[in-house]
C-alpha cells in the first residue's frame, strides 16, 4: 500500500476512535470473532456442529431444562443436570462369576427434584444386574435383572419410565392411606417421590430430602467374554447448561456458539461480495456514462423492482439451497444497495481536473477507475458493508424460520424455527426463544455501531458540533 | 407537464412489471411445468372416471380417450411448444391474472383459482401494514424533528443509540416475544388471526374486534421501526437546516418553531415522503414472516402456507402479485415525489 493511502487510513482511524459507540461496536466484533475462534473451548457438546439433528447424541441431557442461572433468582433451586461417573469400582471373583460393583454418589441439595434419574451402561454377553438406590435416610430401592444374549446392548434404567412401581412400593409404608388408595405407579411423579422426605406427603405433596444418595450397580458376569462398561448415572435436572435445553434435549448454549460462525460468515461474505459488486457497478456506470450508463441503469432497475424477501423465499422453496447457494442468492439481490449513491459520487469525482489530467497523460480507463475513482469510495463502501451485514443475517434467519434453511448447519434462525415449530412460544419456553433472537440482535447492533460510526465521519453534514 | 410525466412513469412501471414477470417465468419454468403436468394427469383421471361411468366404454377406448384428452389439455396450456414460447405463454398468463389452479389451498369461499385465493388477502395485508406505517411515520417524523432541533443533545444521542441497538433485530422475533408475553403469559391480547371466532355481529363490534386483533402486531411493528424513521428524518432535516434560506429566515427573526415546522419541513418533505413510502414497501415485502407469526390471513401468511403445503401455483401467483404491488408502489412514490418536488417532472438528467 502506498504511503498516501496509509496516512489516509490513519486519519480515518483517528476520527473513528473518537466515536464512542463505534469503539463499542469494534469491541463486540472482536468478541464475536473470539467466540468463533474459541468454539471448541466454549462449547460443552463438542460435536454439536455435526450432530445437532442427531437425537441419539443428546440422549443424556434433560428435556426442556431451564438455564442454570435461573437458580440464582429462585427461592427453590432446581436440580442441576449432571452425569455421574462411578466414585468407586470393586471387582471380585466368586467361583466362575466375576462380580463388579460400582457406586455413584449423588449429593442432592436442591429444593426441586430432577425430572429423571437414569442408570446407563453397556453390557456384553451374560450378565445379571442389580441396582440399588440408597437414600440418605437409609431407605433402599432395588432392582434386579439378568440378561443373556450375545452381543453388546445398552441398558437404560429410568426411574420415571421403568421403575415407577418400585418407587411406589417404597412409599407405601409412609404415605397417606387415602392417597395410596387413589394413586397408582402410573399416576405418581416417581422421581419426586424418590427424592422426598419419607412421610404422609410422599406421594402428592412431596418435600425434597436433601443429602447424599448412593446408586450401587452390581453386575455378575458369567463368562470371560462378558463385560460391562461405560456405566454412568444421568440426573435429568430442571436446569442444565448456560442456556438450558430444548424439547429435543439439545443444549441451546452449544447451538448459539455453533451458530455464531455461520452468522458472521453469512453476514460478512454476503455484504462484502454484494457491496463490492455494487460499488464497481456504480462506478463503471457513472464513469462511462452515455449508453453504457443507461443500459446498466435499466438492469439495475429491474433488480430494484423485485421485492427481496418474497423472491428469496420462493427461490429457496423451489431450489432448496445449501448455506452457500443461499449466500449467492442473497448477493444476487443485495448488490443494488450502494449502486445509486456510488454512481452519483462517481459522477462528481470524474469532473475533477486531476481525472482530466490523468486522461491527458494517456491513462487507461481501467487505471482511472481503479486508481482514482474506487479508492475514494472505499470508506463509503466499508460503511455500507457494515450496515448491510445485519440485513443478510436477518434474511437468512427469516428463510430458516419458514423452514427452508440448510439443514446441515446450525444457525440461529434454525434454532428459532425449531422453537417456533414445536410450540415454544405457546408453552412459554422463553430460554429457547429469547437467546437466539438476542444473538441476532447483538450481532446486528455490533455492525450497526460500526457502520453508523463510519457514516457520521463520512457525512460531515450530520455532525452536530 | 405533470400528466405527461405521470403517464410516462406508469407506462414504465408496466413495462418493468412485464420484464420482471418474464424473468420469474423463465426462472421457475421447470417447477411450474412439473406441477401443471401433474395437475393435467389428475384432471384427466378424474374426467375419465366420469366418462367411463356415463358411457360404458371399453378399456381400449378409455385409454384412447385419456390419451386424446391429455394431448388436448397439453395443447391448451401450450406445453407442447418450444421452451421460449412456453415461457412467453406463462408470462402472458401471469400478466393477465390467469394464475392457474391451486393444488391444496382454497379461498374462503372454497374456490381453487389462484387469483381468487390471493385477491381476498390483498386488503387484509394492506390494512395491517398501512396502519402500522402511518403510526410509525407520524411518531418517527415527530421524534426526528425534535432530535434535529437539539442535535447532539442528550435526547438526540440516546435515541440514536436505541436506533442502532434495534437495527438488526428481526421484527418477527419481537412479535414472538410479544405473543409469548401478552397473549399466553398475560392473556391481554389474542395470539393471532384477524377476527374472533365467531366474529361479532354489527359493523361497529366487528371493527372493534379487528382493532383488538390488530393491536399486538401493530404495536410490535411500530415499536421497532419508528426509531429508524426518526433517525433518517433527523438527518434529512439536519441537512436542510444548514441551507442558506434557513439562516436568512432565522436572521429575519422568525421563531425557531416556525422555521422548523414551516420552512424546514416543507423543503424536507419530498425525501421524508420517499422514506415513508419506501418503508411501507419494505414492510410489505419484509413483513411476510410477521404475518405468519401472528397468523394474520394476508399475503405474507399465504407464502408460509404455500411453502408448507408445497402449493407451487399459489406460491408463483403470490410472488407475481406481490411484485406487482411493489412496482405499483414504486411508481406511486415517484408520482407523489413529482408533485412535491417540481424539479423532477421536468425530466432533466439526474
- Tell me the pLDDT tens digit for each residue of A415-442: 999 999 888 888 888 899 999 999 999 9
Q: pLDDT tens string for chain A (465 positions)?
A: 456 667 777 887 888 888 888 899 999 999 999 999 998 888 888 888 888 888 888 888 888 888 888 888 888 888 888 888 888 888 888 777 888 888 888 888 888 888 888 888 888 877 888 888 888 888 888 888 777 666 777 888 888 888 888 888 888 888 777 777 787 777 888 888 888 888 777 777 788 888 888 888 888 887 777 778 778 888 888 888 888 888 888 989 999 999 999 999 999 999 999 999 999 999 999 888 889 988 998 899 899 888 888 899 989 988 888 899 999 999 998 998 888 888 888 888 888 888 888 888 888 888 888 888 888 888 888 888 998 999 999 999 999 998 888 888 899 999 999 999 888 888 888 899 999 999 999 999 999 999 988 888 877 655 443
Both A152 and A109 in a single domain?
Answer: yes
Contact A443 B304 (CB under 8 A): no
Contact A221, A92 (CB under 8 A): no
Interface of A with B in 366-395 (CB under 8 A): 387, 389-391, 393-394
Which pLDDT score, from 0 to 100, does residue B79 have?
77
Identify the bridge partners of residue A220 per DSSP, sorted by sequence position.
A99, A128
Q: B-chain residues within 8 Å CB-CB of A304?
A: 330
Examine residue A142 and state whether it is found in any structural domain, yes or no.
yes
Both A223 and A178 in a single domain?
Answer: yes
Identify the bridge partners of residue A90 per DSSP, sorted by sequence position.
A101
Half-sphere exposure of A447 (CA within 13 A, CB side): 29
Both A79 and A139 in a single domain?
Answer: yes
Closest alpha carbon within chain A to B327: A305
Helix (H, G, I), strand (E, B) or coil at A185: coil
| Nearest CA-CA partner of B169 in A334, A447, A246 | A447
pLDDT tens digit sequence for B121-153: 888 888 888 888 889 888 998 899 888 888 888
Q: B-chain residues within 8 Å CB-CB of A445?
A: 164-168
Examine residue A381 and state whether it is found in any structural domain, yes or no.
yes
Interface of A with B in 302-321 (CB under 8 A): 302, 304-311, 313-315, 317-318
Q: How far apart are CA B122 and CA B114, in angstroms?
A: 13
Which pLDDT score, from 0 to 100, does residue A279 have?
92
Q: How far apart are CA A406 and CA A395, in angstroms?
A: 13
Which pLDDT score, from 0 to 100, does residue A465 have?
38
Contact B308 A403 (CB under 8 A): yes
Both A27 and A72 in a single domain?
Answer: no
Q: A-chain residues within 8 Å CB-CB of B326?
A: 305-307
Which pLDDT score, from 0 to 100, does residue A272 have?
94
What backbone phi and psi angles, to 5 degrees, belong to A449?
-60, -50
Residues in chain B, overall count = 350
Identify the bridge partners of residue A82 per DSSP, sorted by sequence position.
A235
* b/e code A310-343 from CB counts within 10 Å (16+ = b): bbbbbbbbbeebebeebbebbbbbbbbbbbbebb
The whole-chain average pLDDT of chain B stands at 84
Last residue of a domain, one of A193, A210, A236: A236
Contact B290, B300 (CB under 8 A): yes
* b/e code B62-97 from CB counts within 10 Å (16+ = b): eeebbeebbeebeeebeeeeeeeebbbbbbebbbeb
Contact A131, A143 (CB under 8 A): yes
**CB-based burial label for A129 (10 Å; 0-12, 13-18, 19+):** buried
Contact B260, B145 (CB under 8 A): yes
Check residues A240 and B278 and name the one with the higher pLDDT.
A240
Both A227 and A276 in a single domain?
Answer: no
Both A102 and A25 in a single domain?
Answer: no
Contact A437 B322 (CB under 8 A): no
The gap between the terminal CA atoms of chain B, to the nearest Å, is: 18
Domain CATH for A446: 1.10.3720.10
Which pLDDT score, from 0 to 100, does residue A460 have?
61
- If you count residue pairs, one on A and one on B, with CB atoms under 8 Å apart, how many are there? 145
What backbone phi and psi angles, to 5 degrees, belong to A402?
-75, -15
Examine residue A59 and state whether it is found in any structural domain, yes or no.
no
Domain count, chain A: 2
Contact A396, A404 (CB under 8 A): no
Examine residue A434 and state whether it is found in any structural domain, yes or no.
yes
Contact B173 A416 (CB under 8 A): yes
A91 phi-psi bin (left φ>0, alpha ψ -120 to 50, beta other): beta
Q: How far apart are CA A141 and CA A261, in angstroms?
A: 48
Examine residue A345 and state whether it is found in any structural domain, yes or no.
yes
Q: How far apart are CA A245 and CA A116, in angstroms?
A: 15
Contact B239 A443 (CB under 8 A): no
Q: B-chain residues within 8 Å CB-CB of A334?
A: none
Last residue of a domain, one of A176, A203, A236: A236
Domain that holds residue A451: 2-45+252-462
Examine residue A401 and state whether it is found in any structural domain, yes or no.
yes
Contact B326 A444 (CB under 8 A): no
The pairing of strands A227-236 and A82-84 is antiparallel
Which pLDDT score, from 0 to 100, does residue B349 have?
40
Interface of A with B in 402-431 (CB under 8 A): 402-404, 416, 420, 425-426, 428, 430
Contact B152 A465 (CB under 8 A): yes
Mean pLDDT of B21-49: 84
Within 10 angstroms of residue A140's Cβ, the number of other Cβ atoms is 12
A197 phi-psi bin (left φ>0, alpha ψ -120 to 50, beta other): beta
Q: How far apart are CA A395 and CA B98, in angstroms?
A: 30
Closest alpha carbon within chain B to A344: B350
Identify the bridge partners of residue A152 per DSSP, sorted by sequence position.
A124
Q: What pLDDT band is residue B350 in, cutting at 50, 70 and 90?
A: very low
Both A275 and A223 in a single domain?
Answer: no
Both A31 and A130 in a single domain?
Answer: no
Last residue of a domain, one of A187, A205, A236: A236
ipTM: 0.87
Check residues B170 and A173 and name the one with the higher pLDDT.
B170
Contact B319 A310 (CB under 8 A): yes
Contact B227, B142 (CB under 8 A): no
Within 10 angstroms of residue B20's Cβ, the number of other Cβ atoms is 25
Closest alpha carbon within chain A to B237: A462
Four-residue CA torsion sign, B281, B282, B283, B285:
positive
Contact A25, A449 (CB under 8 A): yes
Q: Tell me whether A445 touches chain B (CB under 8 Å).
A: yes
Q: A-chain residues within 8 Å CB-CB of B152?
A: 464-465
Contact B168 A440 (CB under 8 A): yes
Q: Which DSSP category does A162 fall into?
A: T
Contact B190, B216 (CB under 8 A): yes
Domain CATH for A231: 2.60.120
Contact B284 A402 (CB under 8 A): no
Q: How far apart are CA B159 and CA B233, in angstroms?
A: 13
Which pLDDT score, from 0 to 100, does residue B228 have?
86
Interface of A with B in 58-97 (CB under 8 A): none
Interface of A with B in 6-45 (CB under 8 A): 21
Which pLDDT score, from 0 to 100, does residue B130 have?
85
On the question of pLDDT at B93 being above 50, the answer is: yes
Give the nearest partner residue to B167 out of A301, A390, A430, using CB atoms: A390
Contact A174, A199 (CB under 8 A): yes
Give the nearest partner residue to A302 out of B19, B174, B326, using CB atoms: B19
Q: A-chain residues within 8 Å CB-CB of B292?
A: 401-402
Helix (H, G, I), strand (E, B) or coil at A170: helix
Q: B-chain residues within 8 Å CB-CB of A307?
A: 281, 284-285, 322-323, 326
A-interface mutation test, from B167, B186, B333, most A Cβ less than 10 A away = B167
| Nearest CA-CA partner of A211 in A195, A190, A189, A235 | A195
Both A204 and A346 in a single domain?
Answer: no
**CB-based burial label for B164 (10 Å; 0-12, 13-18, 19+):** buried
What backbone phi and psi angles, to 5 degrees, belong to A258?
-65, -35
B44 phi-psi bin (left φ>0, alpha ψ -120 to 50, beta other): alpha
Four-residue CA torsion sign, B248, B253, B254, B255:
positive
Contact B229, B137 (CB under 8 A): yes
Q: How far apart are CA B7 and CA B225, in angstroms?
A: 33
Q: How far is B150 from chain A (nearest CA, A)?
A: 9
Both A225 and A321 in a single domain?
Answer: no
Task: Scan for cell 435461573, then name that residue.
Answer: A70
Give the nearest partner residue to A452 out of B16, B164, B327, using CB atoms: B164
Which pLDDT score, from 0 to 100, does residue A164 have?
82
Examine residue A430 and state whether it is found in any structural domain, yes or no.
yes
Check residues B222 and B69 and name the one with the higher pLDDT.
B222
Closest alpha carbon within chain A to B30: A318
Cα Rg, chain A, nearest whole Å: 32
| Nearest CA-CA partner of B7 in B334, B308, B342, B297 | B334
Helix (H, G, I), strand (E, B) or coil at A146: strand
Contact A309 B286 (CB under 8 A): yes
Which pLDDT score, from 0 to 100, does residue A353 have?
86
Q: How far apart are CA A462 and CA A457, in angstroms?
A: 9
Which pLDDT score, from 0 to 100, does residue A187 have?
80
Cell of A31: 468478541
Contact B284, B129 (CB under 8 A): yes
Contact A462 B284 (CB under 8 A): no
B-interface mutation test, from A293, A295, A317, most B Cβ less than 10 A away = A317
Give the nearest partner residue to B152 out of A315, A390, A464, using CB atoms: A464
Contact A116, A191 (CB under 8 A): yes
Q: How far apart are CA A344 and CA A336, in angstroms?
A: 14
Both A181 and A274 in a single domain?
Answer: no
Both A450 and A398 in a single domain?
Answer: yes
| Nearest CA-CA partner of B229 in B136, B325, B120, B334 | B136
Which pLDDT score, from 0 to 100, does residue A443 have?
94
**CB-based burial label for A289 (10 Å; 0-12, 13-18, 19+):** middle
Contact A378, A276 (CB under 8 A): no
pLDDT tens digit sequence for B251-262: 888 888 888 888
What backbone phi and psi angles, to 5 degrees, belong to A251?
-80, 115
Examine residue A140 and state whether it is found in any structural domain, yes or no.
yes
- H or E element at residue A212: strand A211-221
Amino acid at each position: 500500500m502506498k504511503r498516501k493511502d496509509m496516512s489516509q487510513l490513519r486519519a480515518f482511524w483517528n476520527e473513528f476512535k473518537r466515536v464512542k459507540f463505534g469503539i463499542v461496536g469494534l469491541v463486540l466484533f472482536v468478541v464475536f470473532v473470539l467466540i468463533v475462534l474459541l468454539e471448541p473451548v466454549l462449547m460443552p457438546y463438542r460435536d454439536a456442529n455435526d450432530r445437532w439433528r442427531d437425537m441419539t447424541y443428546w440422549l443424556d441431557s434433560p428435556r426442556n431444562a431451564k438455564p442454570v442461572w435461573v437458580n440464582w433468582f429462585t427461592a427453590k433451586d432446581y436440580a442441576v443436570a449432571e452425569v455421574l461417573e462411578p466414585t468407586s469400582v470393586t471387582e471380585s471373583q466368586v467361583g466362575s462369576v466375576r462380580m463388579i460393583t460400582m457406586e455413584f454418589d449423588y449429593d442432592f441439595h436442591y429444593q426441586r427434584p430432577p425430572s429423571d434419574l437414569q442408570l446407563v451402561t453397556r453390557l456384553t454377553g451374560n450378565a445379571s444386574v442389580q441396582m440399588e438406590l440408597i437414600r440418605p435416610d437409609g431407605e433402599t430401592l432395588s432392582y434386579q435383572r439378568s440378561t443373556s444374549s450375545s452381543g453388546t446392548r445398552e441398558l437404560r434404567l429410568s426411574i420415571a419410565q421403568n421403575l415407577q412401581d418400585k418407587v411406589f412400593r417404597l412409599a407405601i409404608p409412609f404415605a397417606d392411606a387415602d392417597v395410596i388408595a387413589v394413586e397408582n405407579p402410573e399416576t405418581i411423579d416417581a422421581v419426586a417421590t424418590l427424592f422426598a422426605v419419607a412421610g404422609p406427603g410422599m406421594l402428592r405433596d412431596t418435600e425434597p430430602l436433601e443429602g447424599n444418595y448412593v446408586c450401587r450397580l452390581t453386575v455378575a458376569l458369567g463368562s470371560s467374554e462378558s463385560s460391562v462398561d461405560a456405566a454412568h448415572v444421568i440426573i435429568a435436572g430442571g436446569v442444565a447448561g448456560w442456556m438450558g435445553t430444548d424439547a429435543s434435549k439439545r443444549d441451546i448454549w452449544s447451538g448459539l456458539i455453533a451458530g455464531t460462525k455461520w452468522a458472521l460468515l453469512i453476514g460478512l461474505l454476503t455484504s462484502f461480495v454484494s457491496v463490492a459488486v455494487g460499488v464497481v457497478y456504480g462506478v463503471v456506470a457513472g464513469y462511462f456514462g452515455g449508453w453504457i450508463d443507461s443500459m446498466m441503469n435499466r438492469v439495475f432497475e429491474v433488480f430494484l423492482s423485485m421485492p427481496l424477501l418474497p423472491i428469496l423465499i420462493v427461490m429457496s422453496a423451489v431450489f432448496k439451497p445449501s448455506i452457500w447457494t443461499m449466500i449467492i442468492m442473497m448477493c444476487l439481490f443485495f448488490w443494488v444497495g450502494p449502486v445509486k449513491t456510488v454512481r452519483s459520487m462517481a459522477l462528481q469525482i470524474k469532473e475533477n481536473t486531476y481525472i482530466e489530467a490523468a486522461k491527458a497523460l494517456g491513462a487507461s480507463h481501467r487505471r482511472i477507475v481503479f486508481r482514482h475513482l474506487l479508492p475514494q469510495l472505499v470508506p463509503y463502501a466499508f460503511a455500507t458493508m457494515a450496515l448491510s451485514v445485519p440485513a443478510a443475517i436477518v434474511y437468512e434467519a427469516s428463510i430458516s424460520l419458514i423452514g427452508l434453511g440448510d439443514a446441515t448447519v446450525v444457525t440461529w434462525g434454525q434454532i428459532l424455527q425449531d422453537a417456533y415449530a414445536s410450540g415454544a412460544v405457546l408453552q412459554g419456553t422463553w430460554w429457547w426463544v429469547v437467546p437466539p433472537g438476542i444473538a441476532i440482535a447483538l450481532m446486528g447492533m455490533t455492525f450497526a455501531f460500526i457502520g453508523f460510526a463510519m457514516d457520521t465521519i463520512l457525512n460531515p453534514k450530520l455532525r452536530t458540533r | 407537464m405533470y400528466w405527461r410525466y405521470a403517464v410516462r412513469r406508469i407506462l414504465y412501471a408496466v413495462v418493468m412489471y412485464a420484464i420482471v414477470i418474464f424473468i420469474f417465468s423463465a426462472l421457475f419454468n421447470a417447477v411450474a411445468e412439473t406441477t401443471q403436468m401433474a395437475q393435467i394427469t389428475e384432471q384427466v383421471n378424474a374426467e375419465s372416471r366420469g366418462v367411463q361411468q356415463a358411457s360404458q366404454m371399453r378399456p381400449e377406448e378409455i385409454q384412447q380417450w385419456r390419451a386424446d384428452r391429455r394431448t388436448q389439455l397439453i395443447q391448451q396450456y401450450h406445453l407442447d411448444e418450444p421452451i421460449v414460447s412456453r415461457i412467453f405463454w406463462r408470462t402472458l398468463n401471469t400478466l393477465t391474472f390467469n394464475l392457474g389452479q391451486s393444488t391444496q389451498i382454497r379461498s374462503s369461499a372454497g374456490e381453487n383459482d389462484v387469483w381468487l385465493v390471493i385477491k381476498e388477502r390483498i386488503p387484509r395485508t394492506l390494512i395491517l401494514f398501512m396502519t402500522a406505517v402511518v403510526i410509525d411515520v407520524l411518531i418517527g417524523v415527530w421524534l426526528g424533528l425534535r432530535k434535529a432541533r437539539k442535535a447532539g443533545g442528550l435526547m438526540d444521542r440516546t435515541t440514536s443509540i436505541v436506533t442502532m441497538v434495534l437495527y438488526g433485530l428481526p421484527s418477527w422475533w419481537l412479535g414472538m416475544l410479544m405473543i409469548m408475553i401478552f397473549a399466553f403469559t398475560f392473556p391481554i391480547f389474542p395470539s393471532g388471526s384477524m377476527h374472533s371466532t365467531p366474529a361479532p355481529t354489527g359493523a361497529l363490534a366487528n371493527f372493534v374486534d379487528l382493532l383488538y386483533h390488530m393491536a399486538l402486531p401493530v404495536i410490535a411493528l411500530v415499536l421497532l421501526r419508528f426509531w429508524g424513521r426518526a433517525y433518517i428524518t433527523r438527518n434529512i432535516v439536519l441537512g436542510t437546516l444548514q441551507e442558506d434560506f434557513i439562516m436568512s429566515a432565522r436572521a429575519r427573526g422568525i421563531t425557531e418553531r416556525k422555521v422548523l415546522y414551516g420552512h424546514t419541513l416543507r423543503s424536507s418533505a419530498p425525501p421524508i415522503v420517499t422514506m415513508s413510502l419506501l418503508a411501507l414497501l419494505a414492510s410489505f415485502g419484509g413483513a411476510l414472516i410477521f404475518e405468519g407469526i401472528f397468523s394474520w390471513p394476508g399475503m405474507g401468511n399465504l407464502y408460509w402456507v404455500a411453502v408448507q403445503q408445497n402449493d407451487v401455483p399459489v406460491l408463483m401467483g403470490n410472488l407475481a402479485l406481490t411484485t406487482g404491488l411493489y412496482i405499483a408502489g414504486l411508481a406511486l412514490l415517484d408520482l407523489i415525489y413529482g408533485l412535491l418536488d417540481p424539479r423532477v417532472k421536468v425530466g432533466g438528467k439526474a
